[in-house]
Chains A and B, each alone.
Chain A
């Protein structure tokens, strides 16, 4: 049976204009950048259409943009999920039902992920340009969508966890944004500092220490996962270039692709935070 919370939230949110505003804004931003990019690349060559390489980069650009927007949206969608029920005085009514605390928080996660999926689907027509000119397949887009949803789960479950702790939605939101900042930028800075200090200094043991470091720093970094997906799909080398393994290593091959590790990490962390959130709202554990 469909999670009752998911069902109710879909029902009520489709009745509010807010949701259409959010989706319109989302699609608007993506369309805007797509048009900007096409204008910029076309300005050089009259009527010549696109270089297939440009199409590939447009795909990367739009997907990256989507991921960025999702990282902004998911915390906002979840940070009030429990605190909102508490404030509205409906949380107790939920807790006394036969739904387990875990299915309550899971329903909250599903609702926000559902909304994000809706946004991604709404933005899909923009990608039609890519399919039209070739170079990118629908399967790429589906794969990327799965990756983005899993990332949204990780971020969203954090939002739900903090929402179970803090009364103020703003507090939870800021905390999740801070964590995202650390995961995206912090781990990169950490890795780059580490690699300049240790790996470059001891080139001979490079292979031994760089792999654990790469996995260790980036297993939850949505950016690392994203570029790994792009590289796997398009045959580019973004991930190697950003982490500088391309330059200092001798063709380092990762035994398991970053995006796989990344998605497994996301799922584990989602499970952990959902479990913690469910413990937090379970009166039997107080």
Chain B
């Protein structure tokens, strides 16, 4: 089991990861979701040993990997969000280079490389130059590279970003296959639905804090207790805003051009009460409706809705 305990990372005065804690059981495909700047990459880099945590620990079956780099290197395979390849190197040589860098015996390499290329569907590209591959292929090659020392845990930072839909599907198939091989996989994304269908568990991070964690179903259920209500006043936006801010069962107020969206915690009669309060405050209401809580909507609500231009 992987445990992240009270992880903190500060860049100067800025806190990117703020007392983050979560647990991931072995064999889980964990979707690490949050808007840009939430602290996903920072967390993953610390897990991969590329950065030191300011505070906190990360343990695998009880051993603190932040204090044991060689254990970390054995157990973790990492694929960064951005990476490059070398010029003048063929796919097989690329794999062989990293096999060498993991000190895998020469006698085992040929078979290992063939197997990995098979998994990521790059067998036919074996003798191609790496820099001639498409982005999706490079991405899968880099995934194969991260598997070369047979790590228990795979950390993939936005593996689907920048891929066209077809390449995305291919990547997903590969990840599903790896999941069925029993690997623990942590995949980050800033798009929730992208992960929902292939992850067994989802964690939603924002501002360096885990906002919610559970199975996809649990998250939906937990979140759908909160209703998302859109209110369109006739002018008087400011008055409505300050009224809403006063109310205890209102959270995540998003101000749109001509309406306000809120997360509302309560039963039907509480919703009716809310409307009464607004009317009593002399704010004319043009529209007042509860929105369907689809996943993306929920996600936007939890993460404060600053995800639109992500």
Find out whether the CB atom of A286 lies under 8 angstroms from the CB atom of B51: yes
Q: Is A93 an interface residue (CB 8 A)?
A: yes
Q: How far is the CB of B54 from chain A (nearest CB, A)?
A: 11
Contact across chains for A92 and B89 when beta carbons are under 8 A apart: no
Residues from chain A with Cβ under 8 Å of B69 in the complex: 284
Q: Give the shortest distance, in Å, between B41 (CB) and chain A (any CB).
A: 11
Q: Are B89 and A89 in contact (CB under 8 A)?
A: no
Selected A-B contacts with CB under 8 Å, 7 pairs: A8-B89, A88-B85, A89-B83, A90-B85, A93-B145, A96-B50, A98-B70
A15, CB-defined interface residue at 8 Å? yes
B106 on the interface (CB 8 Å rule)? Answer: yes
Contact of A93 among B73, B74, B98 (CB under 8 A): B98
Is B100 close to A, CB under 8 A?
Answer: yes
Known contacts A8-B93, A96-B73, A89 near B82 by CB under 8 Å: yes
> B22 in the interface, Cβ–Cβ < 8 Å?
no
Q: How far is the CA of A94 from the CA of B149 in the complex (A)?
A: 13
Whether A4 contacts B97 in the complex (CB less than 8 A), given A96-B48, A98-B103, A284-B49, comes out as yes
Residues of A within 8 A of B98 (CB): 93, 97
Residues of B near A15 (CB, < 8 A) are 88
B84 at the interface (CB under 8 A from A): yes
Q: Which residues of B contact A16 (CB under 8 A)?
A: 87-88
Establish whether residues B88 and A98, one from each chain, have CB atoms under 8 Å apart when the complex forms: no
Q: Which residues of A contact B80 (CB under 8 A)?
A: 89, 92-93
A69 to chain B, nearest CB (A): 25
A12-B89, A98-B103 given as contacts; is B149 within 8 A of A283 (CB)?
no
A98 & B145 in contact (Cβ 8 Å cutoff): no
Closest beta carbon of chain B to A188's beta carbon, Å: 41
Contact of A90 among B52, B84, B106, B149 (CB under 8 A): B84
B281 to nearest A CB, angstroms?
Answer: 54
Q: Tell me the total A-B contact number using a CB cutoff of 8 A.
A: 78
Determine if A11 and B73 form an interchain contact, defined as CB atoms under 8 angstroms apart.
no
Closest 5 CB pairs of A and B: A4-B100, A97-B101, A89-B84, A88-B84, A12-B88
Q: Which residues of B contact A286 (CB under 8 A)?
A: 51-52
Query: For chain B, what secondary structure do more than half of its interface residues adopt (helix, strand, loop), or is it mixed?
Result: loop
CB distance from A48 to the nearest CB of B (A): 51
- Chain B residue contacts of A93, Cβ below 8 A: 80, 83, 98, 142, 145
In the assembled complex, which residues on chain B have CB atoms less than 8 Å from the CB atom of A99? 101, 103
With an 8 Å Cβ cutoff, the count of chain A residues facing the other chain is 25
CA distance A97 to B49 in the complex (A): 10
* Nearest A residue to B100, CB-CB: A4
Q: Which chain A residues border B78 with CB–CB below 8 Å? A: 92, 96
Does chain B have a CB within 8 A of A7?
yes
Check if A128 is an interface residue, CB within 8 A of chain B.
Answer: no
Q: How far is the CA of A284 from the CA of B48 in the complex (A)?
A: 11
**B102 touches A (CB below 8 Å):** yes
Asked if residues A98 and B149 are in contact (CB atoms below 8 Å), the reply is yes
Q: Is A1 an interface residue (CB 8 A)?
A: yes
Complex CA distance for A181 and B103, rounded to whole angstroms: 40
What string of 1s and 0s marks CB contacts (under 8 Å) between B206-224 and chain A? 0000000000000000000
Residue of A nearest to B93 (CB): A11
Which single residue of chain B is at the shortest CB-CB distance from A285? B52
Residue on A with the closest CB to B103? A98
Asked whether A95 is an interface residue with its Cβ less than 8 Å from the other chain, the reply is yes
User: Is the beta-carbon distance between A94 and B101 smaller than 8 angstroms?
Assistant: yes
User: With A and B bound together, what is the CA distance between A5 and B86 in angstroms?
Assistant: 12
CA distance A89 to B82 in the complex (A): 7
Given contacts A16-B88, A93-B83, A95-B49, 16 further A-B contacts (CB under 8 A): A1-B100, A2-B100, A4-B101, A8-B89, A13-B88, A90-B84, A90-B86, A92-B50, A92-B80, A94-B101, A96-B76, A97-B101, A98-B74, A99-B103, A283-B51, A286-B51
Q: Mark B29-49, 1 if CB is under 8 A from A, else 0.
A: 000000000000000000011
Residues of A within 8 A of B142 (CB): 93
Q: How far is the CA of A92 from the CA of B44 in the complex (A)?
A: 12
In the complex, chain B residues whose CB is within 8 Å of the CB of A5: 101
